[in-house]
Amino acid sequence: MRASSLFFTLILALTGLFLVSLYHGFSGNYQLEGKLAATCTFTRELGITDLALFTEARYTRHPSQADLHAAFQDHPLALEHFPTGSLVPVPNRLRQ
Amino acid sequence: MKRILRTQQYLIDYTLSSLGRRRGKNFGLLLVYTLIVFFLASVMLFAQSLKREAEIILRNAPEIVLQRLIAGRHGLIPGTYLQKLDPLPGVAEKRGRLWGYYYDPAIKANYTLMVPGADPPACGKIRVGATLARVRGLQPGFFLNLRSADGGIFSLQVAEVLAAQSELVSADLILLCEADFRSFFHIPDGMYTDLILRVRNPSEIVNVARKLTVLLPDTRPILRDEILRTYDAIFNWRQGMVLVLMTGSVLAFVIFAWDKASGLSAAERREIGILKAVGWETADILRMKFWEGAIVSLTSFFLGYLLAYVHIFYTSAMLFAPVLKGWAVLYPHFRPIPQVDGFQVATLFFFTVFPYTVATIIPSWRAAITDPDMVMR
């Protein structure tokens, strides 16, 4: 088989997969509300205001409900206790 | 037409054999290029997906949350404030919310305890979020012991584990009845954590909020739009942080690719000179170089983008989870729902494929228009 034929096969396969991913993604855009319907109903019924993504500290759990200086609430020099506000990993000694 | 296609096929054959002669260097380039596209596409797809899901879910949040401030801090709000809101037109529904945090030293995590507005569990029973149930090993019928405000042990039986589908908003949630909540936290009757207001007409929300600050000066209204903006800002900020951290590697790649694409090596110059000497036209050399750029950049783009798609939507963004998770013990298991923004994909394609392809052509054109004898020397 010629190198160019191999290349065309590869590019065609990759283009095909790329188009499938685009179709999958675009159809996902339309199905999004349907797939999230149960979560939306749950949110409406309970009056939930925040996502449970940052559960590590009280003041990061509900960012939208925190006051403007929530990070300072413990004492004035407590700029940031938790890496939710940064990208610092947990020190190894704290994992032990 | 057939002739043109055949010419291109021969050119590609030649280009591939030419790339094969510098296999190590070109494979390295392809690998780094693919990785860069993979990271950029991953950040783009993940941030977009989280932002969209947050927006759709939080569109169902209450239009207005009313918090009472005491000495500048969030304090309990009396239920009598609800009656003071009666004269406000446009408010379709209003109720007090009871919720709070509980730190569980057993797993070093914070729980959110909440009383549902409708259909609360029977007293002594609780409904728990799927993440919490998983981490604490809870199942319906099991008991969860918590230490109440007076130091006594409060034993609550799990009636139900909340659906895993809603884990994104219920990971650390414990739903309990009002009487249990009040006795657990020692919150007097008639006091609430905050009030929520539903306003039917969206254009009235700001007016209602303005009237609230006059009617109840010790309160702070939080509008749904502010909640949505908060999350938009959070995800933009996180996306920005990742991109800033990636800037160094992207720049290193740009320098590497630019050097590889624009600075022809002596061997490449000689190759062009020989091709010219054996009768290749300048246009043929440019086409050949165009294919060289296109082969590398297209393959890298497709591979990088497809790997990013699988990474985000089929492995639950495995590489990014630690960034979002931080120190959280209760982190929801959630898989972003596949979705794409055509404009973002087009932008990524344009900025990753075009510059490299163009950069390979210009120096080759300079070499190709020079006398073959000069180039080969």
- CATH code given to domain B64-223: 2.40.40.20
Contacts of range B372-377, beta carbons closer than 8 Å, 24 or more positions apart: B372/B273, B372/B274, B372/B276, B372/B277, B373/B273, B373/B277, B374/B273, B375/B269, B375/B270, B375/B272, B375/B273, B375/B276, B376/B269, B376/B270, B376/B273, B376/B274, B376/B277
pLDDT tens by residue, B38-55: 998 998 898 888 888 889
Average pLDDT, chain B: 86
Question: In the 8-state DSSP scheme, what is residue B353?
Answer: H
**Residue type present at position B285:** I
**pLDDT tens digit at each of 96 positions of chain A:** 787 888 889 999 999 999 999 999 888 888 888 888 989 999 998 989 888 888 877 777 888 887 655 554 554 444 555 556 555 555 566 666
pLDDT tens by residue, B188-212: 999 999 999 999 888 889 999 999 9
Domain ranges of chain B: 8-58+230-376, 64-223
pLDDT value for B73: 80
Residue B144 contacts A where some CB pair is shorter than 8 Å: no
CB contact under 8 A, A55 and B330: yes
Parallel, antiparallel, or unpaired for β B109-114 and B153-161?
unpaired
pTM tops 0.95, yes or no = no
Tokens of B368: 């190709």
Residues 6+ apart with CB under 8 A from B114: A46, B97, B98, B99, B173, B174, B175, B176
Give which of B323, B315, B109, B87 is closest to B216, Cα–Cα: B87
3-state SS, residue B90? coil
pLDDT tens by residue, B149-174: 888 888 999 999 999 888 889 989 99
Angstroms from B258 CA to nearest CA on chain A: 24
Angstroms from A33 CA to nearest CA on chain B: 7
Domain ranges of chain A: 1-48, 49-96
Q: Which residue has the tokens 């729980």?
A: B111
Compute the count of residue pairs across chains A and B with CB atoms less than 8 Å apart. Answer: 194
Quote the ipTM score. Answer: 0.78
Question: In the 8-state DSSP scheme, what is residue B143?
Answer: E
Please tell me the number of Cα atoms within 13 Å of B48 on its side-chain side: 23
